[in-house]
Amino acid sequence: MGVTATPNLTPSVASAGNGVPEPPTDEALLELLRDGSTSAGEMLVKRHCQPLLRYLHRLVGSEHLAEELHQQTWVSVMDHLDRFDKSSASGGFKAWLFRIATNKANDHWRSSGRDKAAKQTLRLVHADEHAPDASHRMEGSEQEAKLREAIDRLPQNQRQVLMLRYYGNLKFVDIAEMVGCPLNTALGRMHKAMMKLKQIMEQ
Amino acid sequence: MTSLLHNLENNEAILLMYLADELSAEDRAEVEHMLGSDGGMRAELERLRALHDGTTAAIGAADAGARLPVSEGVAVRRVMRMMRQWQIDHAQAPPPEEPLRELRFPWWSYPLTTAAAVLIAFLVWWGNRPDHPPRRVANFQQEPPSGPSDLHGFRQEVAGQMLLDSYDTMEEDFARMVVNQPVDSLLERLKMSAEMRKTDLDL
């Protein structure tokens, strides 16, 4: 019986090989950014742009809001540059970045109230779907629509764990710490979220 | 790495951690031993693996067909603009103000001390101020009158003044009254007054 762990499916940063110089780590780029290097900052932003934007989009359901939270996340990174300590930060810069993004999303949910935010999200999603160029968008595909519906129907805490695991590629231990729950709870939420997604996607 | 295995509540949690490759080498070996001897657990592992793979594949496929909330280039540009502005703002920010020097005593003690000093000064002045209006003092320095009528007036005034001093509490009007009396009468009164004083002292 060959029992092997599933390799992580999230695309990671290209590793060194065939004499190609290894790209600088996030932590090294952050050090350069602290010293005022804008290009190091740009490299960091580019590296995490896609997963972070998708994570926020899946989490809040609105394109506009996702982009706003993306910017707020980076403002917060700049504001707290000196507080990041690579030796003590579990999960490295990426976990720290997603933690900030998660906090921003939580702040949004808290400040606007769940009902209000849900209504707004619904309105924005509705507006997006009925936009004149919607037919040209790939997001109008059946699979995407189904997935969006399935994710929207997940409870917020399950959605958060699933998205952090998928887009942040974070360890469950870090996710549990990030969302403030025991490890067993985080694993339970992950399991329930996957089950619900499967159920909805198969309908 | 510390053992997590015995803190995990159920097989789902154990297997999710196993699939995520987040167990220590000892814990992995223990789980593989359990899988080797437990067919039900092996089936559960396969179910979770399929669920995990199905979820990640569904999200991956949906993401592949969906555009980002905002194009990556635009998102990076916006963040970089904000980042540069942040750096400019912080480069121009004035140095933090020195904290105010701490007062040796509480702030309210200073006006209180001043008020107390003013009050004490007032009381000292009040205690030392003269009780009676300035007395009319005969001017012995002046030239004695030359004529007999003037001499009489002068003697009368001096005798009156001496009587006035001997009583010590006489009002000015009374003094005026007595000084207008004949000199002999005044001298008589003066003698009586002196004798009364002497008697008082003897007693």
A11-60: pLDDT as tens digits: 343 444 566 777 888 888 988 988 888 899 999 999 999 999 999 998 88
Q: So what's the pLDDT on residue B100?
A: 59
Has residue A77 been placed in a domain? yes
The overall average pLDDT reported for chain A is: 78
Decide which of B85 and A87 is more confident: B85
Write the residue in A6, A38, A144 that is nearest to B49 by C-beta: A6
> Does any CB of chain B come closer than 8 Å to the CB of residue A12?
no
Average pLDDT over residues B65-86: 88
Residue A136 confidence (pLDDT) above 80: no
pLDDT at A4: 38
pLDDT single digits (tens) B5-62: 888 888 999 999 999 999 999 999 999 999 999 999 999 999 999 999 988 888 888 8
pLDDT value at position B119? 94
Instruction: Report if residue A8 sits inside a domain.
Output: no
The set of residues, in sequence order, having a beta carbon less than 8 Å from that of A26 and lying 6+ positions away, is A44, A47, A92, A93, A94
Q: B70 and A53: CB-CB below 8 Å? A: yes
Quick one: what percent of chain A has pLDDT higher than 70? 73
Question: Which whole number is the average pLDDT over B96-119?
Answer: 81
A144–B18 CB contact, under 8 Å: no
**Cβ-proximal residues to B190 (8 Å cutoff; 6+ apart), any chain:** B159, B162, B163, B166
Separation of alpha carbons A75 and A16, rounded Å: 31
The CB density around residue A83, as the number of other CB atoms within 10 Å, is 9
Q: Return the pLDDT at A134.
A: 41
Task: Quote the CA–CA distance of B88 and B199 in Å, as a whole number.
Answer: 100
3-state secondary structure chain B: CCCCHHHCCCHHHHHHHHHCCCCCHHHHHHHHHHHHHCHHHHHHHHHHHHHHHHHHHHHHHHHHCCCCCCCHHHHHHHHHHHHHHHHHHHHHCCCCCCCCCCCCCCCCHHHHHHHHHHHHHHHHHHHHCCCCCCCCCCCCCCCCCCCHHHHHHHHHHHHHHHHHHHHCCCCHHHHHHHHCCCHHHHHHHHHHHHHHHHHHHHC
For residue A89, what pLDDT band results from cuts at 50, 70 and 90? low
Mutate to test the interface with B, among A184, A185, A189, A196 (most CBs of B within 10 A): A184
> What would the pLDDT profile of A174-189 be if each residue is shown by its tens digit?
999 888 899 999 999 9
The shortest C-alpha distance from A142 to chain B (Å) reads 9
Asked if residue A2 belongs to a domain, the reply is no
- For B119-173, how does the pLDDT look when each residue is reduced to its tens digit (9 = 90+)? 999 999 988 877 655 555 545 455 555 555 566 677 667 766 776 666 555 555 5
Can you give B169-203 as a three-state secondary structure string? CCCHHHHHHHHCCCHHHHHHHHHHHHHHHHHHHHC
Q: Does A14 touch chain B (CB under 8 A)?
A: no
Instruction: Tell me: pLDDT of B92 over 70.
Output: yes
Report the C-alpha gap between A199 and A154 in whole angstroms: 11
**Domain tally for chain A?**
1
Q: How many angstroms separate the CA atoms of B146 and A26, rounded? A: 120
A17: helix, coil or strand? strand
**Nearest by Cα to B175 from B198, B194, B152, B159:** B159
Q: Which residues of chain A does B40 touch, with a Cβ-Cβ cutoff of 8 Å?
A: none
pLDDT value of residue B191 = 80
- A76 within some domain: yes
Q: Residue A18: inside a domain, yes or no?
A: no
- pLDDT number for residue A14: 41
In a domain, A155, yes or no: yes
- Tokens for B28? 């992995």
Give the closest residue to A26 by CA, choosing from A34, A101, A175, A11.
Answer: A34
User: Do B66 and A66 make contact, defined as CB atoms within 8 angstroms?
Assistant: no
Query: Any CB–CB contact under 8 A between A52 and chain B?
Result: no
Q: How close does chain B come to A67, measured CA to CA in Å?
A: 7
A5 assigned to some structural domain:
no
CB of A45 within 8 A of CB of B76? yes
Q: Is A144 helix (H, G, I), strand (E, B) or coil?
A: helix
Q: How confident is the model at residue A161 (pLDDT cuts 50, 70, 90)?
A: very high
User: What is the per-residue pLDDT for A35?
Assistant: 87
Domain residues for the domain of A58 are: 26-130+138-202
Tell me if chain B has a CB within 8 Å of the CB of A5.
yes
Look at A58-62, A159-163, B112-116 and tell me which has the smallest mean pLDDT. Answer: A58-62
Is A4 part of any domain? no
Q: Which of A124-128, A157-161, B127-131, B162-166 has the lowest mean pLDDT?
A: A124-128
Whether the model pTM is above 0.80: no
Handedness of CA B124, B127, B133, B137 (dihedral sign): negative
